[in-house]
Amino acid sequence: MLICKLGRESEVRTLAAIDQLDVEILARLTENARTGIAEIAAALGVSRATVQIRMRRLENEGILLGFQPIINLPAVGIPLQALVSLEVDQRLLPSIVRGLRELPSVLEVRIQSGREDLLVHVAIESLEDHQKLTMAIVAIDGVRKTTSTFMVSTPVPYRVQPLLEEVARGTGWGRSTPAAPR
């Protein structure tokens, strides 16, 4: 674990450190979250206890947040996704977020800096449904304006593995194991 001082003395943040073994474990889980601990250990040539301890530490330090299935929305009849940017009255942000959370088509809400205040990822069945959803969003007190951008395809799906590999480059596999060959 690293301690990072940010400017002022009172502002200290604890950063979790990961090494290449952690990254390899996370890679196996990313490929298939149902991979068993024994299978991961065998593939990496380490003990089951090592993988178990590493996974527990990754969870305890807030690096590994959980396991979720990846749902193919078009396969269940929801073929359209869009990013809806919102301009809002920032004083009403908590109630706006609560209102968005109540809409089933809202998959994710992110606060951002820039011209728009919120970025809302939505999934809908049709353009007509998108219009109804937009009307419901605008009806939330404090929402001033929406702008929608439809997703056509996802040539690079959400991923973190390349970034983790870069962060852990040259760290080895902990104290007792040298860096794995590339």
> Measured between alpha carbons, how far is 26 from 22 in angstroms, rounded to an integer?
6
Q: Which two tokens stand for residue 132?
A: 């109804």
* The three-state (H, E, C) secondary structure of 79-111, written as one string: CEEEEEEEEECHHHHHHHHHHHHCCCCEEEEEE
pLDDT tier for residue 173 given thresholds of 50, 70 and 90: confident
CB 150 within 8 A of CB 82: yes
Give all strands of the β-sheet with 106-111 in edge-to-edge order. 106-111, 118-124, 80-88, 143-150
Higher-pLDDT residue of 177, 50: 50
pLDDT tier for residue 172 given thresholds of 50, 70 and 90: confident
Provide the angle, in degrees to the nearest 10, between the axes of the packed helices 20-31 and 37-44.
Answer: 130
> Measured between alpha carbons, how far is 39 from 35 in angstroms, rounded to an integer?
7
What pLDDT is attached to residue 24? 96
What pLDDT is attached to residue 17? 84
Element holding 158 (H helix, E strand):
none
What pLDDT is attached to residue 175? 57
pTM listed for this prediction: 0.80
What pLDDT is attached to residue 25? 97
